[in-house]
Amino acid sequence: MALIVLKFGGTSVANTERLFNAASIAEKAWRDGEDVVVVVSAQGDTTDELLQKAAEICPAPPAREMDMLLATGEQISISLLCMALYQLGCPAVSLTGWQAGMTTDSQHTASRIRYVEPGRVKKELAQHKIVVVAGFQGVDEYSDITTIGRGGSDTTAVALAAALGAARCIIYTDVDGVYTADPRMVTGARKLDEITYDEMLELASMGAQVLHNRSVEMAKRHRVDLEVRSSFTNEPGTLVREETMESRNVSGVARDLDVAVISLTGTADVPGIAYKIFDRLAEEKINVDMIVQSAAENGQKHICFTVDQEHAARALELIKRQGDVEYRDLAMDPDVSKISIVGAGMAGSTGVASDMFEALYEQGINIMFISTSEIKVSVIIKSEDTERAMQAIHDKFFG
Ligand code: ADP
Ligand code: ASP
Ligand code: MG
């Protein structure tokens, strides 16, 4: 008998009707004779509402208490889904992250999974039950509840699939697969039948929230057979795998609004400037993404870089306080976004980046930064241009 892991996102369990819909998908697999593990997210906007509740009481709540609060959302879903399965005549049992053996580090609200000991899951499966596990949560070495970052239930599902040696992990969501761009934003976005782990990892890391990027990283490392499909239709979804039949120059376009640019102008053209700035940021665990340094002119150079919005103010403060780096101006711009194109075939072909730049030029959109890797080109633009840029770049490659 094969073991499968099914994951249902927040929209797919948002109300009673959808809970029964998710339950009947699990029921069908179970009646077909599969061993079924289900991972669920909090219903609808529950996690956002919990964040809002916390913010009303405390503007900067202790991360441990946030985790205690946020983990409740998934606990509601697992119990309700088991009740729906009970109504359908299926034996089911709900397990929290801790009960399912999900052990994480203690980085509250952004924990990493250390290991999974799914003994209890196996025991329940052996009794032919559907095992329903709370996504997004775990427990650390001090038995404190942790959460693994927004969108993390995908990663819970893949981690369980890897630990249990599941034949497949199916991510049920509110779109019927991975598209060439967010279909809610870009007209003409197309569903992909398949995509490589590497491409999906880049797209997810560059802002395509359809999969949590760490779930893709984990699926690649443990060779988990992953599929993204809709819980609302019976259409085949997108397979995420090592290789695809054909390698495309561009598989998708993504955008990330969680970016801020920090610019230092007029720093001295002497050794050690970059080291002093970025070492200080690294000490504070501030992740720097793109870095651009100009050629020196009249003994001065300019350094610009991007960080996520959450860390922008702190990064600015650290540079201001840094006594040994002189500069003329220091500025922060939070009104920017990053647009990326991703494709495994890009490495072996020419003109892909220039097509992207042409699409932006035709719209009169100015590029602030450019960065490239083997299978990706990213640009930073003003955030007000985001939607126009996404559509124009998508039209250029897929129109
Ligand atoms: P879930 O709650 O099921 O985890 P998410 O909201 O996290 O669902 O992810 C699904 C959403 O991802 C879609 O509704 C869609 O708007 C968005 N999305 C962004 N980029 C893409 C893409 N390339 N393909 C499909 N969906 C995408
Ligand atoms: N409920 C969590 C969130 O909204 C985890 C998830 O949905 O994957 O981010
Ligand atoms: Mg999600």
Q: Please count the residues of the chain.
A: 399
199 contacts 241 by C-beta, under 8 angstroms: no
CB distance 11 to ligand 1 below 6 Å: yes
Q: Which residue has the tokens 């509402």?
A: 49
Average pLDDT over residues 190-207: 97
CB distance 208 to ligand 1 below 6 Å: yes
**Of the listed ranges 7-16, 72-81, 315-324, 372-381, the one predicted with least confidence:** 315-324
Q: What is the DSSP letter of 142?
A: T
Q: Whose CA is nearest to atom 5 of ligand 2?
A: 151
Residues 327-338: tens digit of each pLDDT: 999 999 999 999
38 contacts 81 by C-beta, under 8 angstroms: yes
Q: Which of 210, 227, 386 to mutate to test the pocket of ligand 1 (most atoms within 8 A of CB)?
A: 210
Q: Whose CA is nearest to atom 1 of ligand 1?
A: 9
Residues 137-157: tens digit of each pLDDT: 999 999 999 999 999 999 999
CB distance 178 to ligand 1 below 6 Å: yes
Q: Which residue has the tokens 């499968």?
A: 4
**Of the listed ranges 9-13, 117-121, 159-163, 281-285, the one predicted with least confidence:** 281-285
With cut-offs at 50, 70 and 90, classify the pLDDT of residue 80.
very high
Q: What pLDDT, on a 0 to 100 scale, did the predictor assign at position 322? A: 83
Q: What pLDDT, on a 0 to 100 scale, did the predictor assign at position 305? A: 96
Residue 7's DSSP bridge partners are 39, 171
The span from the CA of 9 to the CA of 173, in Å, is 5
* Ligand 1 centroid distance, CA of 292 (Å): 31
- Count of C-beta atoms within a 10 Å radius of residue 86: 12
The span from the CA of 153 to the CA of 102, in Å, is 12
Residue 309, phi-psi category: left (phi > 0), alpha (psi -120 to 50), beta (remainder): alpha
* Ligand 1 centroid distance, CA of 11 (Å): 10
CB distance 41 to ligand 1 below 6 Å: yes
Calculate the alpha carbon distances from 182 to 50, 123, 179 in Å: 26, 40, 6
CB distance 8 to ligand 1 below 6 Å: no
Average pLDDT over residues 193-216: 97
Residues 24-54: tens digit of each pLDDT: 999 999 999 999 999 999 999 999 999 999 9
- For ligand 2, residues with CB inside 6 Å are 9-10, 41-42, 47, 73, 135-136, 150-153
Q: Which of 77, 102, 133, 136 to mutate to test the pocket of ligand 2 (most atoms within 8 A of CB)?
A: 136
With cut-offs at 50, 70 and 90, classify the pLDDT of residue 81.
very high
